Chain A
Amino acid sequence: MRRIALGFLLFVTHFCDAQFGSPIAFSDSQEKTVLEASPEFFILDWKPNTSLHISETPLEIITDSVGAQKVNLFRDNTEAPILYSSNIITPVCADGDCKFMHITLYWTLLGDYAGFDRSVKEPLTKHDHDEFLFSDYWKLHDLLKDDNSILKRRAIDELVTKPKPSKIEGVDALSGATVKEVKESVVSGALYSCYVAWHLVHGKIKEQIKAHTVQQQDEAMLVQMLNNDHTNYQMYALENLDQNQYKVNFSRVSELFKSGIPLVRSFIIKNLASSFSQSPTTMQPFWDALPYIDINTRSLLLQHIDFASDATVTHISTQLSVLTKNQLLKYLEHLASKKVISTEVLKNLEHFSASNKEKNAYLVTEFLEDNS
């Protein structure tokens, strides 16, 4: 990370050898000390009637030719930290031609990209000096959302080279992924602005913001994060809540098991692995989620099949379609380990095995043959 931020500074210095014209103008949102509406491009939920007020932090971003620019923290009326923000003015240079870019950037409490406000007076422009269209801002927003963008690990000159034509197939060979990926992700004609903006958002400030938040972290903040829709908040809360707090917030945790992204679900189930044997009934909501969760999480869930209630095992026999081949084999292996298989389960197995629409019907057929 550090390396990339450093690289960015070097890059800016290098490209800013050219002379600047007029002095710096300030972005409109510069004076905003209260936020009463969501930033124009924003990834978090904005609840109606939210009013955030600004507070200072020791954090700053240094851009070339402009110097230090403050990073502020917006808090809600209970003084809980909500959002970091900075009004940025930074030079963008391409082929010796430099312009200033004005933009207000927002970060989450964990230093992830949260959104931006454009400057009405000083809109972003492209290489040919055309102003950004609204759709271009959206594209920039999409780019900034991608914390693992290809812009991260490439120097700017690496992003504009074309792949060598193939010796055997001529120019019609497979195109280099890099150039294509870059083209798809940046605003056409504004590679340099996009590059600079991305590295500002995802530069070393990210870590500093997170560290600043961690200093003020308390249980209330974690619970808020757990209840937020933003995945990184959920994940951070899940990683930092202790066992007891898991219990207290169990209904939200089990809800996230159903509604969260696969990564969140897998984390939850791995973290609660021992609960399947220790308090099987509490874990019932997890079994109920079986048909709705992704394949990876379902595999992790099925690892606990030996602790599932008979009712659950029977219920799964009506859900065989959602199981992958190996998941089905795991389930059948569990059945085989039982002394008796209930008639209801057998009936469901036979029904499944007779279906000509089921990819894995043959496995159940073989199982029934072997266990008859």
Chain B
Amino acid sequence: MTGTAAEIVFDNVSKRYPGRSSPALDGLSLTIPAGTFCVLVGPSGGGKTTALKLINRLISLDEGDIRIDGTSILDLSPVALRRGIGYVIQQIGLFPHHTVGENIGTVPKLLGWPAARIRERTEELLTIVGLDRADATRYPQELSGGQRQRVGLARALAADPPLLLMDEPFGALDPITRARQQDEIRRLHREVGKTIVFVTHDIDEAIQLGDRIAILGEGGRLAQYDTPDAILADPADPFVAAFIGEDRALRRLALRRLGDVPLLPFAGGGPSVGSALTVRNAVSLLLEGGFDRLTVTGDAGTPIGTITLAHATSLLQS
């Protein structure tokens, strides 16, 4: 497991907890290409956490196999496997008796890095996750919830693992902090290009973050695995359709910006809007103002095309 990103393959994985009638996961097969931001989403009890913890062997596999870059996780010792995987949980689990710096340096220290390199890496990570270098000597109890979450992320990234597992990392944050953290994890993903497996039960978060979304239904069944756009355009079954909501057309339009979609040729008329606006927001403006068209302007303010309600509708067909 070297390199910047790892490919993960779930091969017909099942898991049944002792004393439970229905399985937590049932024949899950899933390939997550290297570098993908994959979101596991689904209702409570759908087996998301189970799937995640199977990867780093916090939970043992009943059936099937999981391979990381072609190597079965069963061929590695759990400890060695885990040291190569970043792991972030909702409760964060920072060590209360270690400073922020010591928390971040945990895995590098286990791996025997020299102290100077650990210090350097810690400072680098604090900057990456948007914390102050001076925070390194503070104890976790002295930080806010959002700051702790960042430390948890930095700690998971410390040894530069090719794979990051995140279990509802933003579940306990207020909406504003949460949105900021979401932006940052996206940015981080673009910059470091790691494979991320991210668990949430919030479909909005899944759509916003994921390159690919795996929807797990009751009984640990994989209901659909595709890009957000494809899932919104074509839900595989009524369960998925209900889960993503009646407003899926709007959600789809929210995924695209005016500058990224084919527009009608510039025809004049209607108010001007920037190309960074999402199609959804353009539709909202059209409806709100009762306009029949909007002029889309490019970076320099020059018109680059026109959008109408009918054209937005046609975009959903593509």
Q: Do A and B come from one complex?
A: no
Using CB atoms and an 8 Å cutoff, list the residues of chain B in contact with chain A.
none
